Structure 1
């Protein structure tokens, strides 16, 4: 069951990073590029993904 947290955490972390970069207009070519909304949502999703990743990777 821990691997589910790791996989979902990695995916959320990567999505959050991409969304942040698109929101900051570092990655172009999307309707999300240059949008402040995605520059705020991205880091939130990335932090949630990091928490899930760490929770899944933590040993009991």
Structure 2
């Protein structure tokens, strides 16, 4: 079960980071985050954190099997 938690958090972070990036670049429509460049910077950072969490989650699951 240890790897599932990291995989879930990683996937959530990747999706949220991508959404924040799109919103920050102004492509997401009307929202509070639309057009604010800070979200275009925070988004990719969150995606990278999510990818690292996915990698650790996959590694933990492989070790277990």
TM-score between both structures, scaled by the size of structure 2: 0.87
For 1:41 and 1:13, the matched residues in 2 are separated by: 12
Deviation at 1:5, TM superposition (A): 0.3
Deviation at 1:44, TM superposition (A): 0.2
- Residue 41 in 1 paired to residue 42 in 2? yes
Hey, which of these two has a bigger chunk of helix by percent?
2
Unaligned runs of 5+ in 2: none
Where in structure 2 are the equivalents of 1:7-18 lying within 5 Å? 7-18=8-19
Deviation at 1:11, TM superposition (A): 0.2
What SS does the corresponding residue of 2:33 show, helix, strand or coil?
coil
Where does structure 1 differ by over 3 angstroms across 4 or more consecutive aligned residues?
none
Where in structure 2 are the equivalents of 1:1-60 lying within 5 Å? 1-58=2-59, 59-60=62-63
Structure with bigger gyration radius: 2
Deviation at 1:43, TM superposition (A): 0.3
Deviations 1:29-60 (A, max 9, x none): 21100001100000000100011011101222
